Amino acid sequence: MGTQASVHSIDALKGLRTALALFSEDALAALGAVEMEVKRAVQWVQHDRRAYWQEQIKRRREQVAAAQAEVFRRKLAKTADYTPAYSEQKELLRRAQASLQDAEMRAVLAKKWEPALQQAVLEYHASVRRIKDLASGDVPRAVALLERLIDALEAYVRVAPPSGAVVDGSFDSIANEVLDAEPPPSDTPECVTPDDEAESPS
């Protein structure tokens, strides 16, 4: 490392240190908020929707039966000289049947969404794994490294002859020592960007 170090502003390094710490905090908060939303959705699909739509099927079957009975009752009331109006009852029956069909379709979808959502969540986790590792591990290490660099720089400036803010090669060697002392960077696998989107079951 024969190049001369050139750091013109310790304050700029301090600002970067703060920015990195804030980035780590914000990134982890964003990931945490999304994770909560994903968990809520998984919970909703796995523990709520299937039971809900099964219950709705039962309830709507009863409504269809009641509507059919009403239409039947009206038909029975028909005599030679009296024909009761039952178009409204027929419409109610049609609606009840459509509502039952909708519930049956959604119960099937709920069953299909369970594995599909699980797959989508796995893909999501793969896509955020790297930034999560960086924000929780590498970035705090970078903050600590800057801390040491700033300490070294301030210590150097205290003893060095006043020559503006430019620091010469002595700092360069100190800084490189600090960098060399760092543990090797964690494995940096390719960022996983799942190509296959979760297949919609509908």
Partner 1 sequence: MPNANVMAGAHRLRHAIRALQDHWRAVEPTWDDSVRRRFQERHLDPIEPAADAAMNGMVKIAEVLDKVRRDLADRSETP
Residues 144-183 that bind partner 1 (CB under 8 A): 145-146, 149, 172, 175-176, 179, 182
- Token pair 């955020």 is found at 128
**Distant-in-sequence, close-in-space partners of 168: CB < 8 Å, separation ≥ 6:** 4, 5, 160
95 dihedral zone (left: phi>0; alpha: psi -120 to 50; beta): alpha
Using CB under 8 A as the criterion, what x/- string covers residues 180-199 for binding partner 1?
--x--x--x--xxxx--xx-
Q: Which amino acid is at 171?
A: F
Q: Using the minimum distance from each CB to partner 1, give the nearer residue, 93 or 175.
A: 175
Residue 89: count other Cβ atoms within 10 Å of its Cβ.
19
Contact with partner 1 (CB under 8 A) among 63, 70, 74, 131? 131
Q: Using the minimum distance from each CB to partner 1, give the nearer residue, 81 or 197.
A: 197
Q: Using the minimum distance from each CB to partner 1, give the nearer residue, 37 or 62.
A: 37
- φ, ψ for residue 194 (rounded to 5)? -60, 130
Contact with partner 1 (CB under 8 A) among 64, 93, 100, 117? 117
74 class by beta-carbon count within 10 Å (0-12 exposed, 13-18 middle, 19+ buried) = middle
By CB under 8 A, the residues from 96 to 115 that bind partner 1 are 106, 109-110, 113
- φ, ψ for residue 87 (rounded to 5)? -65, -35
Query: Binding residues for partner 1, how many (CB under 8 A)?
Result: 72
Q: How far is the CB of 198 from partner 1 (least distance, A)?
A: 5
Q: Using the minimum distance from each CB to partner 1, give the nearer residue, 74 or 111.
A: 111
Contact with partner 1 (CB under 8 A) among 46, 54, 56, 97? 56
For residues 34 and 164, what is the distance between their CA atoms, to the nearest angstrom? 47
Q: How far is the CB of 123 from partner 1 (least distance, A)?
A: 7
By CB under 8 A, the residues from 20 to 39 that bind partner 1 are 20, 22-23, 26-27, 29-31, 33-34, 36-38
Sign for the pseudo-dihedral over CA of 42, 48, 49, 51? positive
Q: How far is the CB of 44 from partner 1 (least distance, A)?
A: 8
